[in-house]
Amino acid sequence: MVGVIVVSNEGQISSQKNLDNLVVSSELGDPLAGKRVFNKCKVCHLLEKDSVHRIGPNLYGVINRTSGTVPGYEFSKAMRRAAITWNRETLSRYLIKPKDFIPGTKMAFPGLKNPEDIQDVIAYIREHTE
């Protein structure tokens, strides 16, 4: 299995200090493995074109979209103000620990601890929505 490895200069990925030092390799994640990881996300998110929102926004088309802009979902002020373009790097950093990357986000999920899982779920989202 080929995956992207997300590491910090100090080998830690959970603190805000280390989030700023992340290095993301250019390898792509495994979408099949990402489907399994996305099961954790399905409690709050859908990934279907023209579908409704759940507790969290529908993630269809999230790649290259600006944070806090999907129509019909009430995002936190923090998410709207962040104005981040969601791509492999920004999603990787966010999924490690959402509340550290965007303080004030409504996302209650604490984050994914396995760097390979992060890249796999991003690959699944990308493949499923392009």
Q: Residue 86's domain is classified under what CATH number?
A: 1.10.760.10
Domain assignment present for residue 47? The answer is yes
Q: In the beta sheet, which residues pair with residue 6? A: 24
Tabulate helix, strand, coil % of the chain (nearest 5): 35, 5, 60
1 is a domain residue: no
Q: What is the pLDDT of residues 11-64, one digit of tens each?
A: 334 444 444 444 344 368 999 999 999 999 999 999 999 999 999 999 999 999
Answering whether pTM is above 0.95, one says: no
Q: Where are the beta strands (DSSP E) in 1-130?
A: 6-7, 23-24
Domain around 56: 6-129
- Going by C-alpha positions, the residue among 100, 89, 98, 104 that lies closest to residue 41 is 98
Domains in the chain: how many in total? 1
pLDDT in tens, 64-114: 999 999 999 999 999 999 999 999 999 999 999 999 999 999 999 999 999
